[in-house]
Amino acid sequence: MKKALLVIDYTVDFVARDGALTCGDPGIALEQYIVEQTTDYVQHQLPVFVINDVHEKNDPYHPESKLFPPHNIRGTEGRNLYGKLHDLYTEYKQEIMWMDKTRYSAFAGTDLDIQLRARGITEIHLMGVCTDICILHTAVDAYNLGYTMVVHEGGVASFNAAGHDWALSHFQNTLGATVIAK
């Protein structure tokens, strides 16, 4: 079974304490684990995708505009990968694939499914933020597309602790994912 790592929305706006829509300390606490896992995948020549939210400034038509403050605006510092993951991506741009998304799911409106299938990927490992929003919606789509999923508890976080816990249970009990405990 070929596998790939998907690191979703681990950006300054979602993670830094002063980020526009931050999960703060729970997200910051993931940094070392995400960097270690990403490094391991790169060193073993396994596919890594960093898939990040992108919005246009003052877009009144995007549904998130009514739900959340402006975040991950194209061309802003907030869209950069957070911390050491940014440095790792800079070093390994040829090995780590960047993908933009405009909806919660990494599959919605992207060619992620095509990219994974072209590489023979059948198992995806999910990390990033927020557990109960973008990770959850990506997992639901992955389930519907027939992927085997592994969610790394030490690699996901949210600004909503109850939502985070619920999503971890949902991944395992409803979507059949393997949840690797911290």
Number of domains in the chain: 1
130-141 per-position pLDDT tens digit: 999 999 999 999
87-127 per-position pLDDT tens digit: 999 999 999 999 999 999 999 999 999 999 999 999 999 99
Kind and range of the H or E run holding 150: strand 148-157
**pLDDT exceeding 90 applies to what percent of the chain?**
91
Q: The CATH number of the domain where 107 resides is what?
A: 3.40.50.850
Can you give the residue range of the structural domain that contains 175?
A: 2-180
Average pLDDT of the residues in 38-58: 96
What is the reported pTM? 0.96
Q: Could you give the CA distance from residue 170 to residue 164 in angstroms, rounded to a whole number?
A: 10
